[in-house]
Amino acid sequence: MTYQEEFIHFMVRSGVLTFGDFITKSGRKTPYFVNTGNYKTGAQATRLGEHYAACIQEHMPEGIDALFGPAYKGIPLAVSAASALYRNYGRDLPYCFNRKEAKDHGEGGSMVGYQPKDGDRVAIIEDVVTAGTAVRETIELFKHVADVELCALFVSVDRMERGTRGCTALDELRQDLGIQVYPIVTIRDVMDCLYDCPVDGKVYIDDAMLARMEDHLAQYGPNG
């Protein structure tokens, strides 16, 4: 089983990837939902970091000086990914994250952990990107921190839905910001992995659910 397939099974078992009737933050009705807020144990954090680390190692085995996790959901992602990169691949990358409000006492500043410096190549670790707002906020944030290169964005799932234009939200980030974007899995990977294939004895994507997911992509995908 590939690390991508293992990650899909892990999301299902963790109650992070669920199927039914949902409404996304953008107001779209969707037959599936990814809620990374449901990760809540040490074992899950360890496994999650290993999947991010595998994706980082596959796509960028070098060329990264630090990991950044946007507050709040990105914080445990960056920490667990950095830990797994060291444990599994011997890469000891520093990590940092931002405060929602800049600290005005002590050492001050808006950044916690590693303090990025000019010339650093920084990778952003995020959960699921819908409109790319957090990424654009991160770019604006770093303008006031250091002259870094935001070299890549790693996310857990690419929903493969269009953003404000005809292409997907992740493709918009690639085009508008010139940043490399790497999802651990895409929603197509999820469909291929789980269709008619049980996890712990339960089939999550049967013919009916597959049809609903295909309809959703036909309506909201880049060609919808």
CATH number of the domain where residue 191 is located? 3.40.50.2020
**Which one, of 87, 85, 95, 93, lies nearest residue 57 by Cα?**
85
The more confident residue out of 197 and 37 is 197
Q: pTM for this one?
A: 0.91
Query: Model confidence at 36, in pLDDT bands (50, 70, 90)?
Result: confident
Worst-scoring range by mean pLDDT, 10-24, 130-144, 156-170? 130-144
The more confident residue out of 49 and 36 is 49
d(CA 63, CA 48): 22
d(CA 69, CA 107): 20
pLDDT mean over 52-81: 95
User: Distance from first CA to last CA of the chain, Å, rounded?
Assistant: 32
**Which one, of 34, 9, 40, lies nearest residue 20 by Cα?**
34
Parent domain of 76: 3-220
Q: Looking at the 3D structure of the chain, how many domains does it have?
A: 1
Alpha helices per DSSP H over the chain: 3-13, 42-59, 74-89, 133-142, 169-177, 187-194, 207-220
DSSP symbol at 61: S
**Average model confidence (pLDDT) across the chain:** 91
pLDDT in tens, 165-219: 778 888 888 888 888 999 999 999 999 999 999 999 999 999 999 999 999 999 9
pLDDT mean over 33-53: 95
Q: Does residue 108 have a pLDDT over 60?
A: no
Query: Model confidence at 101, in pLDDT bands (50, 70, 90)?
Result: low
Q: How many CB atoms lie within 10 A of CB 207?
A: 10
Residue 151, CA distances (Å) to 24, 60, 201 in order: 28, 10, 41
Backbone dihedral region for residue 162 (phi beyond 0: left; psi -120 to 50: alpha; all else: beta): beta
Residues assigned a catalytic role: 103, 105
Query: Model confidence at 72, in pLDDT bands (50, 70, 90)?
Result: confident
